[in-house]
Amino acid sequence: MPVDHVPPIPMITSASNSKLKLVRSLTGRSKERREAGAFLAEGVRLVEEALASEWPFRFVLQCGEPRPRAKQLIARLQQRGIEVEEVSEKLLASLSETDTSQGILAVLEDAKPQPVLALNFVLILDAIRDPGNLGTLMRAAEAAGFDAVFMAPGTADAFAPKVVRAGMGAHFRMPVYEVSWEEIRTQVGAYGWSVYLADMEGRSCWELALNPPLALTIGGEAEGAGAEARRLATQTVGIPMQGRAESLNAAVAGAVLMFEVARQARRAGG
């Protein structure tokens, strides 16, 4: 569909519109997102990522005169038969959790990931509660070539708006599973993973052979890994530090360890 021939977009003018009520509910608690079976993606880049991955959409809201990139995106959305409606800048700003709205917001289905046949590199997150850390860990896992992320009990909602923003599209490119510890143990047995638990006192990651299939567990920011994660671990792994810092935060430590796994895998393959 040529950009110059985008069909007219209907305008929502009432703050009590059912679509706007749904968006408001999706910015709230995870319980409301689960009940609705949907989540939000805000901004041109995230909506582009969702469309490229063929993620199921419910509808899209946009405001103002779109810039060329957004205009191209809206045309592609309409070409796919995805409903696009316009709202005022004031209304969209009242729905957005960002300081400056990018003028486009999508409501997406909470689609369950399909089972993956081969999982050689898996990230297990144990009670990671900070949305920024959680999204960053997911983004790093996808960038490092991990096959999936397992969200253990106590971890924040992977599809909360702040987590989706911090993930920068990782949600659409890599399976994310919310699982119990019993389910994780079953998967460990089925795939024969070695389970490495990030720990300040663990053996240096530069000295360990981090060979697939493996799972890397990152514990919570405040209290570290819980009892279930420690029982499951085959080996603890740490990051040697030269400076005076006592530790790294969960997202930074996880990224360093995941890219060391990726480095060793490339070296072994090359």
Assess if residue 36 is contained within a domain.
yes
Residues 88 and 167 in one domain: no
pLDDT at 2: 53
Range of lowest pLDDT (39-53, 82-96, 185-199): 82-96
> For 92-123, how does the pLDDT look when each residue is reduced to its tens digit (9 = 90+)?
888 876 666 678 999 999 988 877 778 999 99
Range of the domain at 153: 121-269
What CATH number is attached to the domain comprising 198? 3.40.1280.10
Residues 189 and 141 in one domain: yes
Among 52, 84, 109, give the residue marking a domain's end.
109
Residues 164 and 87 in one domain: no
Q: What does the DSSP assignment read for 81-119?
A: T--EEEE-HHHHHHH--SSS--SEEEEEE-PPPPPPS--
DSSP H or E segment with residue 194 = strand 194-204
In this predicted structure, the answer to whether residue 186 has a pLDDT above a threshold of 70 is: yes
Among 74, 109, 144, give the residue marking a domain's end.
109
Assess if residue 116 is contained within a domain.
no
Residues 228 and 263 in one domain: yes
pLDDT at 103: 87
Enter the pTM of the model: 0.91
Among 50, 76, 109, give the residue marking a domain's end.
109
Cα-flanking dihedrals φ and ψ of residue 201, to 5°? -95, 5
Residues 38 and 154 in one domain: no
Residues 132 and 45 in one domain: no
Domain count, the chain: 2
> For 17-35, how does the pLDDT look when each residue is reduced to its tens digit (9 = 90+)?
999 999 999 998 899 999 9
Residues 48 and 128 in one domain: no
Take residue 198 and report the two structure tokens written for it: 């990030």
pLDDT at 4: 53
pLDDT at 100: 63
